[in-house]
Each structure stands twice: as C-alpha cells, then as structure tokens.
Amino acid sequence: MLLSLLLSAPFLAAPAQQEDLPYAEIATDHAVLFAFYDKKSAQVLELEKGMPVQVVTEYTPWTKVRVPGGLNVWVHKDYVTWEGGVGSITSSRVRIRPRPSTDASSTPLGHFQKDDQVLLMGQEGDWFKVRAPETVSAWLLTSQLQMPQRDASAWKRIWAEHRSERVVEPVVLEEATDDVVETVVLKEGGGEVVEASSEVVESVTTPGTATPMNATPKDKARTLFRSVDVAKAPEAQRLLAVEQLEVLAAAVTSDNRSWDRRRLDNLEMVFGHVIWHSTDLRTINEARRSLTRIDGLRRFYFSALAANVRRALAAKQTERASTLDKALAAEKKPMVYAGEGTSVEIGWVEYRPSVNANMPYRLVRGGRELPMHSFDGHQDLKEFVNREIVVRGIWRNDKSLAAGRVLAITELRVLPPRE
C-alpha cells in the first residue's frame, strides 16, 4: 500500500498548516485530480509530472492528496462574506463543490469550517469560485505517484517553488449599484460598445478578435483551437479547452467586459468535435458538461444585456433600448452568420413548422437555435424530435430563412442519456 510505504519513508514533516503528512511526487504526465475516488466524478485539477503532493489517505487504487497552493473550488454565496478579494466562511461544514452546482455531478470534496479563508477567483450565478486553503484535498490514481527519496530541506524547497508558481491574484468583489452598469454589446457593423455608468466608450476591438480585458500576455498570445487538431487528439485538446474555459468563465463572471465571443465559440467547437470523434463515454460526458457550462456563461451574459434593455426602457430611452435589443439578438446567433462551411453541432431536435414549413426542424441548445435540413432525405428528422443529437453538416445560404442559412446534414448520431 502506498500510504504505508510513505509513512515509513523519511519524508519532511509538512508546515503547520499542512499537518504531519508524508510527501509523494506526480510520476506521469497530466495526472488528473478528481472530486471523489471515481473517474466519473468531477475533475478538479490537472497536475504536471514532478509536482509534489501530500498524502492524506489511500483507498486502493486511489490516493487522496493535497497540492501546493490549494485548489480552485466553488462555494455558495450564502456561506461566505468578502472583504475585497478575501472571503471568510460563515458556517461550519460548508460543502466544497468542484462545480457551481448541487447536482450529482458536483460531489463535494469535503467541507469548509467556519472562518476558513478563501480567495475570490470569479462568480457564476449564486456561486463563488475560490482558491481554497492547501488543507483541501482531492483524489488521483495511486499509479500516478512515485516516492523519490529526498531529505527534509529538499521537500520543503520543492513545495515552496511549486506553491509560488500557483500564486493567484484574487478578484476584488464590487457591489453592484443601480447607477453603475457595465457590459459589452456588439455594434451593428463591427466594434464593441463598453457601457460604464452613464458614459459610452467605443473600443477599437472588432467582434471575433476580442481579447479578455484582464488577459495576461500568455492569454493574448494563445491561438485558437483547430478542428483538425481536435480530431487527432480529442482528449488532450479537451483538457486544454477546459482550462481556457475556466479562465474565461472566471473573467466574465467577475467583469462582463471580459466577454470574448470568438474564444467562447472556438471552445464550443472543441467540445463539439470531441463528442463527434470520441467513443469513450466518460470523455463524451465531460465534453457535454463543458458545453453546459458554456450555455450557462452565455445566459449570464444575455441576462446582463437584457437588464440594460430593461433599464433603457424604464428611462424611456427608446432608441438606446432598440440598439441594445438588436445587440442581444445578434449575440444569440452563431458568430459567423453568413457564408458556407462545415460544422459539428450538438443540441435537441425541435419541430417548428410554424417558423418555416419547408424547413421546420431546429437544433436547440443554450438559448440558441439552428435551422437544419436533410436535403437528400437520408435522415428522417421526425424520428429524432426531443432527442439530443450530434450532427455534422455543411452550412448553406438560404434567404428564405430568418437566420439566412441552414445546416445541410451529412451525418447524425443520437447521444446517450446524460448521467
């Protein structure tokens, strides 16, 4: 048993906040921490080879570990108070969630205790994303650990180095007020309008090339994913996309001016192609969860735009309300809404003959709907109504549709029931 071997080895006694736990080291590339000792549970963090960990307990073939710098987790807003970017847990045994949800996919990692300190990383609805203390632990496969012999000073130095690499700058929580509203809306013909208080400032950024306002130089230099790369290595590309989605979600939920339409659509492409090219059910379900996360992020942003429309109407600013309403409608459409090209899409099939009798089927997901049609009659879409599918097709221009184009289906698969 790994734990018994570790306990008999001459490992460094951890710092006071770490208790007297033995050390180990990640032995494989891209070892994944899970919320529970089950690969179907939520993924918490990916660890690089060589990172030190502290062993909390073992349940063969799993080991529960702590990592330098702590984990990013979620806590409900009712159980934390904030002073700037530092939060204090207000109750005992507050569940530590790997996702902003209480459903079965968000098995708690453990519990916060009253007065535990956390750092604010972002917000999604009623949930705060926080950097937890190092005492919070998660599970990985024991086979991904090794036990190099090191003296106490070496372990202490390595742990401190990795902790410093994971230092984060907390987000400062600002209370919303009625007279300060910040959001980004797309202008007709290009560009963005950034609204702050009563001022309107035009930026030089064009839709589709926006970079999050608080992005680091590394973020700005990061290129978009390519569908050909996803087809070659779907799981590896998925893990990279999950990381980018976490960064974008944290930025947008803390400041919606960080909205990056092109980046989000590109991440959606990745998860769609992962589903299309994968046969592993776990990978497919993880990609679907990421798409659900994208849908939630879009709804969050849509609600911000809709709130500005309501405020404009209440202030009897009819022209401004109309402009904002058009921007909201534009956001609900796919970014590239003219021209042709191939695409992979995921959603539920709905039959809407009242919209267009000749092309009555729509693929619906996340508040957006896409017209689709089987021009060669190979797919009888009536069989798939109210079912979730992944479809590959070619966009065709069609002026008879309000959307301006339709997805001509070439291939279709029904997705398995969600877990």
DSSP string, 105-122: TS---EEE-TT-EEEEEE
Residue 193 and residue 187 in contact, taking contact as beta carbons nearer than 8 Å? yes
Residue 209 pLDDT: 31
Cα–Cα distance measured from residue 121 to residue 253, given in angstroms and rounded to the nearest whole number: 9
Per the listing, tokens 């013909």 go with 189
Identify the helix (H) or strand (E) that includes residue 270.
Answer: helix 261-277
Q: Where are the beta strands (DSSP E) in 222-324?
A: none
Cα–Cα distance measured from residue 165 to residue 172, given in angstroms and rounded to the nearest whole number: 21
Residue 234 and residue 274 in contact, taking contact as beta carbons nearer than 8 Å? yes
Cα–Cα distance measured from residue 350 to residue 384, given in angstroms and rounded to the nearest whole number: 8
Residue 274 pLDDT: 93
Q: Phi and psi of 407, rounded to 5°?
A: -90, 115
CATH class belonging to 2-70+137-165: mainly beta
Cα–Cα distance measured from residue 374 to residue 407, given in angstroms and rounded to the nearest whole number: 9
Cα–Cα distance measured from residue 11 to residue 14, given in angstroms and rounded to the nearest whole number: 9
Amino acid letter, 247? V
Distance of CA 338 to the CA centre of its chain: 28
Strands 388-397 and 405-414 turn out to be antiparallel
Residue 371 and residue 356 in contact, taking contact as beta carbons nearer than 8 Å? yes
Cα–Cα distance measured from residue 122 to residue 58, given in angstroms and rounded to the nearest whole number: 32
Show Cβ contacts of residue 216 under 8 Å, excluding neighbours closer than 6 positions.
none
Task: Write out the two tokens for 253.
Answer: 């939920």
Residue 334 pLDDT: 59
Task: Write out the two tokens for 296.
Answer: 């939630």
- 3.20.20.140, 3.40.50.450, 2.40.50.140, 3.60.150.10: CATH of 341-414: 2.40.50.140
DSSP string, 153-177: HHHHHHHHHHHHHT---PPPP---B
Residue 223 pLDDT: 67
Residue 206 and residue 190 in contact, taking contact as beta carbons nearer than 8 Å? yes
Q: At what angle do helices 261-277 and 234-254 cross, to 10 degrees?
A: 150
Domains 2-70+137-165 and 341-414 share a fold: no
Q: Phi and psi of 20, rounded to 5°?
A: -95, 75
Three-state secondary structure call for residue 350: strand
Three-state secondary structure call for residue 229: helix
Written as tens digits, the pLDDT of the chain (419 aa) is 444 444 333 322 333 335 578 899 999 988 999 998 888 889 999 999 999 999 988 888 999 999 999 999 999 999 999 987 889 999 988 999 999 988 878 888 989 999 999 999 888 889 999 999 999 999 999 999 998 988 878 888 898 888 888 877 777 765 543 333 333 333 322 323 333 322 122 222 222 333 333 334 344 334 688 888 888 888 888 988 988 888 888 888 777 778 888 888 899 999 999 999 888 888 888 999 999 889 888 888 888 888 888 888 988 888 888 888 888 887 776 554 334 467 899 999 999 888 888 889 999 887 778 899 988 877 788 899 999 999 998 888 887 877 678 889 999 999 888 76
Among residues 234, 210, 213, 205, the alpha carbon closest in space to that of 224 is found at 210
Residue 419 pLDDT: 65
Domain ranges of the chain: 2-70+137-165, 72-131, 183-331, 341-414
Paired residues of 66 in beta bridges: 54
Residue 186 and residue 324 in contact, taking contact as beta carbons nearer than 8 Å? no
